[in-house]
Amino acid sequence: MIVWLSSYPRSGNTLLRTAIHEVYGVKTRDLYFPDADPTWSEEMKQAASKVGFESMPSFVELDSSDEVCFIKTHELPTDVNPAIYVIRDGRDALTSYAHFILTTEMGFKSGDDSEEYKEQFLATLRNLVTLNESFGGWSEHILSWSCRHATTSIVRYEDMLQDPVGTIEISIKRLGLDELLTKKTDTFSPDSARLSLPQHFRKGKVGSFRQEMPPDIEREFWKHHGEVMRLMGYRDTSSDNLFARFLKPWNRAASKAA
């Protein structure tokens, strides 16, 4: 039985897989890495261990199995297999994804603070906000998974940070998997997972976009994705953020004067 662990990139899929593995003791698979690679770095091997990585046989074999087979994906849905879908504030997800693209696809090093990096980051972030080239775009991805005609449990990344075990348990019950899976532990720490896998989590904090997404790009974001953000329960705080950013230089000057 295939159960998709789906999300738009940088929305908490690795955290979900790590929690499922630690709380329920089950393996997870990865659509993009069907088999272990002997050339993997130590960081990749550690990440594979944390999520309970297991090689993936054919889909026919997995689909006909009596076992629950969790598979990570960022693709748009194409079948009616059940899914747990992770959603994260799009501003945080797209900001993190822009950094990910620069370091994994464009050859920049993590922590690069050069002007070239900053320019490329803003250009990449703006494209992710305004274009639908990456996995259909943030809004389309969420609507495709949340509105499909198949059993889908929606999980908010922010809820996983606050109560990972309870949030995962609710999803397992929604999918009717509680009869097939036995919980092994009631403890799981997102902070511990983040610290042990820094290359996968980066900051991993709620609202971290505020330090990196300029007001004009945030306005573009709400123009393109405001409807889905509100549908998913996220509040438009762009005017609050703009006011805070306006005050920030004044606050720094006042602090120095004091």
- Which CATH number does the domain housing residue 46 bear? 3.40.50.300
The count of structural domains within the chain is 1
Distance, in Å, from the CA atom of 243 to the CA atom of 209, rounded to the nearest integer, reads: 15
Q: What is the domain extent for residue 214?
A: 2-257
| Radius of gyration for the alpha carbons in the chain, expressed in angstroms and rounded | 19
Q: Give me the sheet containing 2-7, strands edge to edge.
A: 28-30, 69-73, 2-7, 83-87, 152-156
Distance, in Å, from the CA atom of 46 to the CA atom of 49, rounded to the nearest integer, reads: 5
Query: Which residues, at least 6 apart from 124, have a Cβ–Cβ distance to it below 8 Å?
Result: 98, 101, 102, 106
Q: What is the pLDDT along the chain (258 residues), one digit of tens a residue?
A: 999 999 999 999 999 999 999 999 999 999 999 998 888 888 888 888 989 999 999 989 998 998 999 999 999 999 999 999 999 999 999 999 999 999 988 889 888 889 999 999 999 999 999 999 999 999 999 999 999 999 999 999 999 999 999 999 999 999 999 999 999 999 998 877 666 665 655 666 889 899 999 999 999 999 999 999 999 999 887 665 544 444 444 444 433 333
Residue closest to 68 by CA, chosen among 21, 22, 102, 128: 21
Distance, in Å, from the CA atom of 130 to the CA atom of 137, rounded to the nearest integer, reads: 8
Q: What is the pTM of this model?
A: 0.87
